[in-house]
Amino acid sequence: MNTLYIYDGEVDIELSCGGPFYWYSLGNGSVCCERGYCLNDVDRLNMIALELRDEYSDYIYSLNNLFIENGLIHDDRISAYFLSDLSNKRTEIFHTYSSICHLTLIKERMKSIPIQRGVFNGCSQSFVLATKSLYPNCSVTLKNIKKSSVSIIRQLYSQARFFIGALARIAHIRFIDFKNPKISELENLFLTRFPMHFDKNYQEDKYGKLFTNKDYYLISILTDGIHQNLRFKSYKRNIRLISSKLKNSILLDSYLRLFDVVLAIIFSVKYQLHRIILSRLSYNFKDIDITAFISLELNQSFIRIPRLIMYQEAIKAVFKQYKVNNFIYYLHEYCYGRYFTYMLNSFFPDVNTIGFQSGPAARRKLLYHLSSHEPDLGRKDYIRHLPMPDKVLAEDSNSVEIYNEAGYSNVILMDEIYRLRYLKDIKRKNVQPNTILVAFGLNDGQSILNFLRNEITENKDKKYILKLHPRSSRNNSIINQSQEFNDSNIEIGNAHISEYLGFVSEVIVSYSSVGTEADMLGIPIRLIKLPNKINESPLLDIQELDPRREKNHYNLEHKLFVVREHE
């Protein structure tokens, strides 16, 4: 009896197995079995991610037809699909695409080998259902399965909490009578969030010197409650800071009305009903049932969309009061920024919309890729096509190419990468040998730490500085996990990244943008390809396009799961 054993865990396990036994790991843990065949192949996994990218983008875009058929058209102008996390293909928070790639690899490696039994250990319900669609006739054994569904009660609670908080914040702004600048015409208006993207000197960390003293910020503190979520006390404190420290700013939140929130609540109920309808449909990509995965993406989408719509009249009020020539905004690729693109293209077409790249783009990062039929090409048909910025400022030539391939128009190379200007001040004069910076991404910290566990404990002569992602929700868990190592050669890096880039002798990353920054400084890099992750680092793109870079600038490393290959 041929057994397919799929394991999603962080520690290695040993099994006694009889008969042909094929195993695949979705995590860092491997399976030790005397007669086992490992199916993992991280290099092939990353190639599959490229091969399926365009077809998957076309498939996701085709789901807009379901939104149209179900009347999910906002204001008779735009399909709610284009404002959804589903359309964004958020691979950093959803496992839909990576699971498709894993299953495609398994199917490829198991070609012509029938499977009679499937064992799932630590996997999600969504992954189990997707795998069963490929092997419908095999018996199934489940161990430690992770729940995938989200309760309606939890969603309703989340929405109620956000909108009640919004009402309280709007009332507070009315009570203190917040004053916006009295000026009629603005050459450049920059969209941002406070305090998330401002340093201790109240300098914006993305736009850098592109923003001048003559320019103005359009600031939101409330945002959509997902990109940034502050307690009421903190919200009031930051309102005061904007009033005193950022005189050249317009507070978008101050234009919100209580009625806007009430209307958004009505839309929220409507979208929850539609979510239930769409979640009952079946979704299949290349014979893989991804219904459970898509349901999770719809859940997140219909939480966010009403929160964006809440700002409709506020945005109109700002651009009616101020004549704006250029509107510059990052997150234009995300539904948050897309909503501003739609609003300005529809109601204020004289405003020049300039999308601003705010982080590294890569060929495997689906957020940056659109279906070839998706972009709106000046027809303003936002029911069937995506609203596009008039212009896009891209950070580097690789990003320019990615944007062009995706269908963006007027993509212009920045004079410099403004968010990385601080690199010019770093002087690497006192490099400390055997001092390694481990830079975690938003969601890969625990995986990288588990990956490096043996290396750290076996190399007492080396110092490992763990630099946590500032917005990761898992940082406390990572700190606790590192303390369990009980090793004196581990340090949690609490200073700004620039301090460490000045003296470390090596940098370890998987997809963190710190890898690109270290590359610019000529620091040796170890680029880890985790077995359970599609690597979305632009450094991998560079290495694939120019293999010489692997020897000259950085090394690729991945965990090998090899017991023995099957014929």
Mind listing the pLDDT tens digit for each residue in 344-385?
A: 999 999 999 999 999 899 999 999 999 999 999 888 999 999
Q: What pLDDT is recorded for position 36?
A: 84
Helical pair 291-309 and 258-279, crossing angle rounded to 10 deg: 170
170, 286 Cβ separation under 8 angstroms: no
Q: What pLDDT is recorded for position 222?
A: 94
d(CA 348, CA 327) in angstroms, rounded, equals 11
The helix (H) or strand (E) run that includes residue 200 is none
Q: Is 401 helix (H, G, I), strand (E, B) or coil?
A: helix
CA distances from 451 to 252, 410, 447 (A): 44, 42, 6
Q: What pLDDT is recorded for position 552?
A: 38
Identify the residue whose tokens are 């906002």.
74
CA distances from 8 to 250, 317, 463 (A): 48, 50, 30
78, 11 Cβ separation under 8 angstroms: no
d(CA 535, CA 414) in angstroms, rounded, equals 25
Half-sphere exposure of 504 (CA within 13 A, CB side): 31
Q: Is 198 helix (H, G, I), strand (E, B) or coil?
A: strand
Name the pLDDT band for 228 (thresholds 50, 70, 90): confident
Name the pLDDT band for 112 (thresholds 50, 70, 90): confident
Q: Strand order in 525-529's β-sheet?
A: 490-492, 463-467, 435-439, 506-509, 525-529, 554-558
pLDDT at 75 over 50: yes
Residue 129: name the closest of 275, 284, 263, 335 by CA: 284
CB burial of 71-91 (b: ≥16 within 10 Å; e: otherwise) equals: ebebeebbbbbbbbbbbbbbb
d(CA 391, CA 325) in angstroms, rounded, equals 13
482, 515 Cβ separation under 8 angstroms: no
Q: Is 375 helix (H, G, I), strand (E, B) or coil?
A: strand
For 232-291, what is each residue's pLDDT tens digit?
Answer: 999 999 999 999 999 999 999 999 999 999 999 999 999 989 989 999 999 999 999 999
pLDDT at 151 over 80: no
Of residues 35 and 175, which shows the higher confidence score?
175
For 386-424, what is each residue's pLDDT tens digit?
Answer: 999 999 999 999 999 999 999 999 999 999 999 998 899
d(CA 539, CA 560) in angstroms, rounded, equals 20
d(CA 437, CA 460) in angstroms, rounded, equals 15
- Burial class from Cβ neighbours inside 10 Å (0-12, 13-18, 19+) for residue 496 reads exposed
Across the chain, mean pLDDT equals 91
Of residues 545 and 14, which shows the higher confidence score?
14
d(CA 49, CA 98) in angstroms, rounded, equals 8
259, 167 Cβ separation under 8 angstroms: no
d(CA 298, CA 69) in angstroms, rounded, equals 16
CA distances from 220 to 176, 249, 366, 390, 531 (A): 17, 10, 27, 23, 39
Q: What pLDDT is recorded for position 555?
A: 52
Q: pLDDT > 70: what percent of the chain?
A: 96
d(CA 174, CA 257) in angstroms, rounded, equals 9
Q: pLDDT > 90: what percent of the chain?
A: 76
pLDDT at 554 over 50: no
Q: What pLDDT is recorded for position 557?
A: 53
d(CA 390, CA 408) in angstroms, rounded, equals 9
Identify the residue whose tokens are 């799961």.
561
Name the pLDDT band for 16 (thresholds 50, 70, 90): confident
For 302-347, what is each residue's pLDDT tens digit?
Answer: 999 999 999 999 999 999 999 999 999 999 999 999 999 999 999 9
What's the one-letter identity of residue 358?
A: S
Q: Is 392 helix (H, G, I), strand (E, B) or coil?
A: strand
